[in-house]
């Protein structure tokens, strides 16, 4: 018997369904954190704590981190 079959028999849940569920939850959490970070950057820009170039650079870094996190969630 394969590991996938044993897992499905023992847990009552198909492994691929569980993987998609966990990937969906992880993606939503990652996007929510990204939105919160961008919101904080924009708030700092509006209150003149950040210059335009700094705000853009922070948002670019947040996008890069989000891409790495989503890649880690879906590839690994």
Residue-by-residue DSSP string for the chain:
--HHHHHHHHHSS-HHHHHHHHHHHHHHHHHHHHHHHHHHHHHHHHTTSS-HHHHHHHHHHHHHHHHHHHHHHHH-
pLDDT at position 20:
94
In which band, very low, low, confident or very high, does the pLDDT at 59 lie, cut at 50, 70 and 90?
A: very high
In which band, very low, low, confident or very high, does the pLDDT at 38 lie, cut at 50, 70 and 90?
A: very high
Separation of first and last alpha carbons in the chain: 24
pLDDT, mean of residues 9-14: 88
Q: Which residue has the tokens 């210059």?
A: 51
Count of beta carbons in the 10 Å neighbourhood of residue 62 = 18
pLDDT at position 1:
76
- Residue-averaged pLDDT of the chain: 94
């Amino acid at each position: 018997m394969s590991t996938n079959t044993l897992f499905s028999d023992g847990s009552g849940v198909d492994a691929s369904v569980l993987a998609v569920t966990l990937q969906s939850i992880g993606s939503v959490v990652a996007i929510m954190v990204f939105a919160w970070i961008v919101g904080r950057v924009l708030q700092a820009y509006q209150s003149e704590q950040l210059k335009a170039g700094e705000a853009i650079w922070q948002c670019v870094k947040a996008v890069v981190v989000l891409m790495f996190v989503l890649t880690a969630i879906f590839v690994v």
